Amino acid sequence: MDTAHEERMTAARLPGDTIVAVLYEQHARIRDQFDAVAATSDADRGAAFDTLRELIATHQAAEDVVLRTVTDKLIPAGTTRASTDEEKVVARELAALEKADVRGAQFLPRLRQLEEAFTLHAAHEESEEFPTVLAELSEQEQTELGHWMKRASRIAPTHPHPALAGHPVTQAVAAPFTALYDQARDRLAEAQGKTDA
């Protein structure tokens, strides 16, 4: 049984749209997209990779804004700091992969390195952060957070980050993943602010 299938089964055993169920589903979808990129022909690989980049950017931004806000208060700082550090490794691997030719010989081995970094990060979240959320928060709290995670998934960045607009040098230097991540995080934070007001 593959990991994505196990994650979906675990999500199905959890109540409704709780945050942990949503995160398990997102992890499974990202894993499936890694497989899709690897299985896609060279001619179509760029589009599949773009989908993967967007999934990871939106997922990580939502985790930072929603999940870490909660887990920073519930578990030791070292654990959440480790998760954040792992996310940075994923971002670095992804930024390096963005510079590679999707048809080149090095692309698939680099894709596997990125997948390994993501797998390590997801495993730590699932074994260290998720159990704490399940134990410490009520089902209603978990469901509210799950709704925020789902909302974040719909905030797919489609334009360059506003801070980069009009700055060609900055646009050329900044990694596209960084722009995707920042835009997803900004949109989610803005949406949360409107709800809290």
Distance between CA 68 and CA 113 in Å, rounded?
A: 25
Number of domains within the chain: 1
Distance between CA 8 and CA 84 in Å, rounded?
A: 24
181 lies in some domain: yes
Tens digits of residue pLDDT in 42-66: 889 999 998 998 888 888 888 887 8
Question: What pLDDT, on the 0 to 100 scale, is given for residue 42?
Answer: 84
Please state the φ and ψ torsions of residue 76, each to the nearest 5 degrees.
-55, 145
197 lies in some domain: no
Q: Is pLDDT above 60 for 159?
A: no
29 lies in some domain: yes
98 lies in some domain: yes
Q: Could you tell me the residue range of the domain that residue 129 belongs to?
A: 3-189
Q: Is pLDDT above 80 for 193?
A: no
Tens digits of residue pLDDT in 89-119: 888 888 888 888 999 999 999 999 999 999 9
Predicted model pTM: 0.79
CATH number at residue 181: 1.20.120
Across 24-28, 123-127, 142-146, 192-196, least confident range: 192-196
Structure tokens at 26: 């997102």
